[in-house]
Amino acid sequence: MRKNNNNLDFLSKCYFCGNTLSQNAVTILENKDKNNTFHITCGSCLTSSIVFFSVNQTGIVSVGVATDLNKDEVREKFLREAVSVDEVIDAHQFISSYDGDLKQLLK
């Protein structure tokens, strides 16, 4: 078995078109313990994605999501403070008791 010396080897091909990605196509957004988040823009098909990658006792898990955000926009979102549990509960309670047109509320 070949030893993996490059921790970005698993990101070597575009999920969408299969072409080889250049190393500057991958931006590390977050690297905590064994959980990593990357922004990738393929130089061939120009598709951007956010990839969540985690290593745990059962193996490696990765999930990719296509996005229309560029790496700077995604980085800005990652620097923001996360939504708190209290904010989620408040929003749920408000929407549950709201008796108007939800489409109008969200505009």
CA distance 69 to 71: 7
- The confidence band for 3, taking pLDDT boundaries of 50, 70 and 90, is very low
Average pLDDT over all residues of the chain: 85
- Look up residue 56 and give its two tokens: 């745990």
Q: 28-61, pLDDT tens digit by residue?
A: 998 888 899 999 999 999 999 999 989 888 888 8
Task: Give the alpha-carbon dihedral of 85, 86, 87, 88, to 10 degrees.
Answer: 50
Question: In terms of DSSP H, where are the helices of the chain?
Answer: 71-79, 85-97, 102-106
The pTM score is: 0.65
Tell me the backbone φ, ψ of residue 49, rounded to 5 degrees: -150, 160
